[in-house]
Amino acid sequence: ELKVEQNPLFLSMQEGKNYTIYCNYSTTSDRLYWYRQDPGKSLESLFVLLSNGAVKQEGRLMASLDTKARLSTLHITAAVHDLSATYFCAVDRAVHSGGGADGLTFGKGTHLIIQP
């Protein structure tokens, strides 16, 4: 059974600071996704990481993937209040033939609060 663990689960930080959210998963996969969810809203796709060493950046967020360590990180640079949300990492086992999607297993999410 695939397990996805995020830490921390709760993070309160001040604007302007840097921080990293970690995502560990328990089985071989090279498909990892980061999503953002605002309270009462749907999930918004942030990053798609499909190979070892992949790095993606968008604004103050940067995500990376190390498939050998089964670890992904989401780094926040110079945080601003608008980044307050819950961030999920999710892994697709992609075990079926042909490399098709296999559904996502989500971590429990990191509830991020950025204070002015």
Partner 1 sequence: DAGVIQSPRHEVTEMGQEVTLRCKPISGHDYLFWYRQTMMRGLELLIYFNNNVPIDDSGMPEDRFSAKMPNASFSTLKIQPSEPRDSAVYFCASSFPTGGEAFFGQGTRLTVV
Q: Which residues bind partner 1 (CB under 8 A)?
A: 31, 33, 35, 41-45, 48, 50, 88, 90, 96, 98-109
**For partner 1, the closer CB: 90 or 114:** 90
Q: Under 8 Å CB-to-CB from 20, ≥6 apart: which residues? A: 73, 74, 75, 76
Report in angstroms how near the CB of residue 71 gets to partner 1 at its nearest.
Answer: 19
**For partner 1, the closer CB: 61 or 104:** 104
Q: What Rg value do the Cα atoms of the chain yield, rounded?
A: 14
CA 92 from centroid of its chain's CA atoms: 13
Report in angstroms how near the CB of residue 15 gets to partner 1 at its nearest.
Answer: 28
Residues 32, 72 contacting (CB under 8 angstroms)? yes
Token pair recorded at residue 91: 């892994």
Report in angstroms how near the CB of residue 17 gets to partner 1 at its nearest.
Answer: 27
**For partner 1, the closer CB: 42 or 69:** 42
**For partner 1, the closer CB: 97 or 116:** 97
Residues 52, 73 contacting (CB under 8 angstroms)? no
